[in-house]
Structure 1
C-alpha cells in the first residue's frame, strides 16, 4: 500500500522531532500525535485512528516511548578562557567609563562655548571625520 502525501509530510515532521530539529514548534517538545501534526503544518488532532495512518501511529508511539537524548553540557571550564572573559569585561567597563567621561566633558565645553557667545553644533551624527592611518595619537 502506498502512502499519501499527507502521511509522508507527517513522517518527515516526525523525523525532525526525533532529531530535535523542528521547524515549527519548540525544540525539546514531547513526541506525540499533536506535536507531529503541528510540526507538519496541520491542526492539532488531525492525526487520528484512520485507515492508512496505522504505520504513522505506530512510529509516533515508538518515538514517544524512547528517551530523548540529552543535550551535551559543558563539562569542564577552561580557566584560560574564563580569565580572558573577565579581562574583556573589565576592558569594556573601562571603555564605557571613558566614553561617559568624554560625553560629560563635551557637554561642559559646549556650555562654556555658548556662555562665551560661540556657536555650538548640535550633538548627533558625526560628519566630516577623517583619521590619518599614520597618526600616532589614535588610541587603537
Structure 2
C-alpha cells in the first residue's frame, strides 16, 4: 500500500509544479487511479488528504488572479468615469460662464459704452 501512497504523493507534486487544479479526484487521476479512490473514510489517506488541502491553499489559481485583475479594472473604470463626469461638469460650467460674459459684452458694446482700444489694438496689432 505504501507504493500506492507514494504514487499519489508523486502525482500531487506534479500537479503542484504545473499549478493545476488540485483536489482528491485530480490527484487520483494523475496517479493513474480512478476518480474517487481517495476517500476520507480510509485511514491510510488521512495524511495525503491533509497534504492535498495544504497544496490547494498554496497553488495560486489563474482564475483567482484573473478575477482580482478584473475587479481592479472595474474599479479603475469607475474612477475614470467619475473623473470624466467631473471634468465635463466643469467644462459645461465654463461654457455657460463664457456665454453669459459674451452676452454681457454684447449689451455693453451695443450701448453708449465705447471701448478704449479698437479690437485690433487690443490684440497687439498696430494701425
- Pairwise TM-score range, normalised by the shorter structure: 0.3 to 0.5
Structure in which a larger fraction of residues adopt helix:
2
Asked which structure has the greater CA Rg, the reply is 2
Relative contact order, higher structure (CA 8 A, sep 6+):
2
Q: TM-score, normalization: structure 2?
A: 0.44
Q: TM-score, normalization: structure 1?
A: 0.40
